[in-house]
Amino acid sequence: MIHAGISGEVTAEGLARLPRGLEDTAPDLLPRLEGGHDILRHLDPAITHANLAAMLELAQARGIPVARIGVPEKRLFSKVAPLYRALAET
């Protein structure tokens, strides 16, 4: 397992780094735990969704399976943010 995450990064930054990371490492599986900082910074959920979807497409285009890990919404007793359910259904 190669840990290439950057603490505090938002999905736009992760998306920008992902193509190079996939080329450099050619992983057999891509775990994705992204979007938490977008939620904490109150970024537009539609943009977060688009960035995550683009990450999935980049991996899938290379035949790399993705393990998607949803992030809770920012509230007490929260559930996984709805955008992750939409991504899981694509």
What CATH number is given for 11-88 in this structure?
Answer: 3.40.50.1110
Q: Is the pLDDT of residue 77 over 90?
A: no
The secondary structure of residue 4, as a DSSP letter, is: -
Amino acid found at 22:
L
| Nearest by Cα to 81 from 89, 45, 73, 41 | 73
Q: Are 10 and 43 in contact (CB under 8 A)?
A: yes
Which whole number is the average pLDDT over 70-79? 79
pLDDT in tens, 30-74: 999 999 999 999 999 999 999 999 999 999 999 999 999 988 887
Give me the residue spans of the domains in the chain.
11-88
Three-class DSSP category at 85: helix
Average pLDDT score, the chain: 91
Q: Are 31 and 2 in contact (CB under 8 A)?
A: no
- The encoded tokens of residue 6 equal 């950057």
What pLDDT score was predicted for residue 32?
92
